Structure 1
Amino acid sequence: MANGNGVPEKVAWILVRNDRVLVTRSHGRDRFYFPGGHREPGESDSETLVREIDEELQATIDPGSMVHFGTFEIGEGHPGHGPFRMICYTADYRGELIPSREIAEKAWFRYADRDRVSVVEEMVFDALHEAGQLS
């Protein structure tokens, strides 16, 4: 779903453990992405993240623990991509992180795996690496 300016947005979950970050790959895709998705009409970021993580990984996000990590955006002129914005949060969760039917696989990536994610995710990888959270 797009924001008021018509830029498509995704609300994403950033989960770092042991210098690795959680990513998922959907069926039929080669690239990995951060778990999360687009808002339904009227949803807040926290409602979106809770719903999407339940749908994708069968885990329950604690909305009270959500912390905005950053908002990352590519513009109209980015080769091969239109404008896109990803709003990223860290958050605690309950559950086992079991991929649902829409998720082909989950993985834990290091910074060296950066070339296996999408353009916007690369920006987040860089920010995590610069912050010393991803080796």
Structure 2
Amino acid sequence: MIDKIAWLHFHDGRVLGARSRGKTVFYLPGGKREPGESDAETLVREVREELNVDIDPATIKPAGSFEAQADGHASGLVVRTTCYFAEFSGTPTPSSEIEEIAWLGHEDRERVSAVGKIIFDHLRETGLLR
């Protein structure tokens, strides 16, 4: 199992997505935890590394966990993405590892990973994503 943490940040019914250098699909900002890290510590570190903004740990709220087949891996390898809402300071800008950021709506579902598709469907059903 690949265990990831992701940040949900919305603007006008769209969610912020990031695309790594050399990749074709977008994902929600975040990533894998380092040994001993909590979900909150992972979220703060990964979002700072990817988007140059500071998550306010006191505002982190759970938004759900989602699982799907891991993209580009052998059959049976699953990725679990646990999503969080959180307030932040700064302006999201791509770091050196991120080639592009974009505001994504449900119509962009085919541009995200397999687990991203499940998350996008859930966000649409709950009225957060247009």
**Partners of 1:75 and 1:43 in 2: CA distance:** 24
Deviations 1:53-104 (A, max 9, x none): 110000000111111100001259xx85621100100100000101100000
Who is 1:130 aligned against?
Answer: 125
1:28 and 2:28 correspond: no
Who is 1:92 aligned against?
Answer: 87
Which one of 98, 103, 106 corresponds to residue 98 of structure 2?
103
Whichever residue aligns with residue 9 of structure 2, its letter is L
Whichever residue aligns with residue 127 of structure 1, its letter is H
Cα contact 2:44–2:55 (8 A) shared by 1: yes
Cα contact 2:69–2:114 (8 A) shared by 1: no
Structure with the larger strand share: 2
**Partners of 1:128 and 1:80 in 2: CA distance:** 26
**Partners of 2:128 and 2:81 in 1: CA distance:** 19
TM-score after normalising by structure 2: 0.93
**Partners of 2:65 and 2:102 in 1: CA distance:** 22
Who is 1:3 aligned against?
Answer: none
Q: RMSD across aligned C-alpha pairs, in angstroms?
A: 1.5
**Partners of 2:104 and 2:75 in 1: CA distance:** 24
Whichever residue aligns with residue 124 of structure 2, its letter is H
Q: State the shift of 1:114 in Å.
A: 0.5
TM-score after normalising by structure 1: 0.90
**Partners of 1:17 and 1:81 in 2: CA distance:** 35
1:58 and 2:71 correspond: no
Cα distance, 1:30–1:81 mapped onto 2, change above 3 Å: farther
Sequence identity (%): 47
> Aligned residue pairs: how many?
127
